[in-house]
Amino acid sequence: MRKRALAVGLGIAGMSAALGLRRAGWTPVIIERSPQRRTGGYFVNLMPEGMKAAADLGLDNLDTRNPERGTTWSLNHRGHRRPALGWLDLPGRPTAMVRGDVEVALWHQISDDGVEVRFATAPAEIVEDDTAVDVLLDDASTGNRYRESFDLVVGADGLRSSVRGLTFGPHARFMTTWNAMVCAFALPEQAPSFGAQDSLISARAGRAVWVFGLADRAPTALLTYCTKALDEQFTGDGTERLRAVFDDMDHPAVRHVLDALPTTPDHLFDSVHQVKMERWSTGRVVLAGDAAWCLTLFSGMGTTAALRGGVELGRALAEHPDDLDGALAAREARLRPFITAHQRMARLKQQCFVPTNRALEAVRTLAMHVAVNARRTVTETRLLRAAAEAPHGV
């Protein structure tokens, strides 16, 4: 009989895990707390490792949205704009898209593979022994609870994972605090006076507004700011709180972003944390994606890591068909160096997104100026070399 696995969470990590399980000969079942599949979403990028993982999972219809004509602009304190380097200028050839592009490609693939999905369902209890995992499932659509046994449970249910809480212990043991907040959402249209595919950055000490220009759709926005009073950020009206934080950044583009927030049906507003664990599995329960390692939005590697996690899970199970402990250990050995490196890099990348003090703001501004000039010099040198090497008259 085919082995059965329960994947908790219908996000990128959960669907990637289900596809990896399918390719290893398992029968995955996905449960999702929400009553329906979420769509849309904020800007993400895939690095080459992520694009390869997507191909390994069979995602041939993945939309990409790298802007072809856009310019990245930085706004200074007076609101003046100057050319800047954006997220897609980072080394490694990142590919731009929105979260929904990846999720819809995964959704089509799991549908084609016949993966069972149960909405409005969440785990209430997880009990395992040497032969199976017994899960008490809560069906919010009917109000019923029922038990079901699986050979493996994959917790892919996000930063505040129910599976992690039920199996490994309280969130506080694993979630590091970064004293920062993020709010990410899709804009209905581009900010006034900017090109349709332009990106813009207004970064000051402790606060930043980013607009990510994309091809074939309106941009997405990211608001981020530093605060030690994290619990207070979730009280009262979130839009008004953000208006107060960014009140003195009186630029039409910033006002455009803030005015758009109340009209967006779907946005992320959350505190920033990484998840750090000594092991991502115990017995027949394994964690994936943000539930296991949460790299933070600042890393720019969350989607790539989630896709890779699904690939490595399937590969390890296929290589160790009769040794679950060995398979989960092999998966972790392959992923751990990659995750550790990008968790460390995320601290540096945070300063790119939002410098945490005025000294770092000055360093960031200088580094941006030097990088832009260096790129301009390289471009001019290439053009001069091409002109010199071209045949006369061309």
Exposure pattern of 150-187 as b/e (b: 16+ CB <10 Å)? bbbbbbbbbbebbbbbbbbeeeeebbeebebbbbbbbb
Q: For residue range 138-150, what is the model confidence (pLDDT) as tens digits?
A: 999 999 999 999 9
pLDDT at 155 over 70: yes
pLDDT at 380 over 70: no
Ramachandran area for residue 25 (φ above 0: left; ψ -120 to 50: alpha; else beta): left
Residue with tokens 């107060």: 244
Please give the model's pTM, rounded to 2 decimal places.
Answer: 0.92
Contact of 342 with 305, CB cutoff 8 Å: yes
Q: What is the CA radius of gyration of the chain?
A: 23
Residue with tokens 């004293």: 179
207 φ, ψ to 5°? -150, 145
pLDDT at 374 over 80: no
Give the per-residue pLDDT at 149: 97
pLDDT at 278 over 70: yes
pLDDT at 37 over 60: yes
Q: For residue range 225-275, what is the model confidence (pLDDT) as tens digits?
A: 999 999 999 999 989 999 999 988 989 999 999 999 998 878 899 999 999
pLDDT at 379 over 50: no
Hey, where are the domains in the chain? 4-66+97-176+274-351
Q: Confidence class of residue 383 from pLDDT cuts 50, 70 and 90?
A: very low
Q: For residue range 50-97, what is the model confidence (pLDDT) as tens digits?
A: 999 999 999 988 889 999 889 999 998 888 899 998 888 877 789 999
Give the per-residue pLDDT at 394: 45
What is the Cα–Cα distance from 349 to 370, expressed in whole angstroms? 17
pLDDT at 130 over 90: no
Contact of 3 with 27, CB cutoff 8 Å: yes
What is the Cα–Cα distance from 256 to 302, expressed in whole angstroms? 28
What is the Cα–Cα distance from 146 to 136, expressed in whole angstroms? 6
358 φ, ψ to 5°? -70, -35
Contact of 194 with 200, CB cutoff 8 Å: yes
Kind plus residue range of the DSSP H or E element containing 123: strand 121-128
What 3-state DSSP class applies to 44? strand
Q: Domain 4-66+97-176+274-351 adopts which CATH fold?
A: FAD/NAD(P)-binding domain (3.50.50)
C-alpha closest to that of 252 among 97, 70, 73: 73
Q: For residue range 296-331, what is the model confidence (pLDDT) as tens digits?
A: 999 999 999 999 999 999 999 999 999 999 999 999
Q: Confidence class of residue 109 from pLDDT cuts 50, 70 and 90?
A: very high
pLDDT at 385 over 70: no
- Burial (0-12, 13-18, 19+ Cβ within 10 Å), 68: exposed
Contact of 69 with 212, CB cutoff 8 Å: no
What is the arithmetic mean of pLDDT over 186-198? 95
Give the per-residue pLDDT at 268: 92
Give the per-residue pLDDT at 381: 54
Q: Confidence class of residue 390 from pLDDT cuts 50, 70 and 90?
A: low
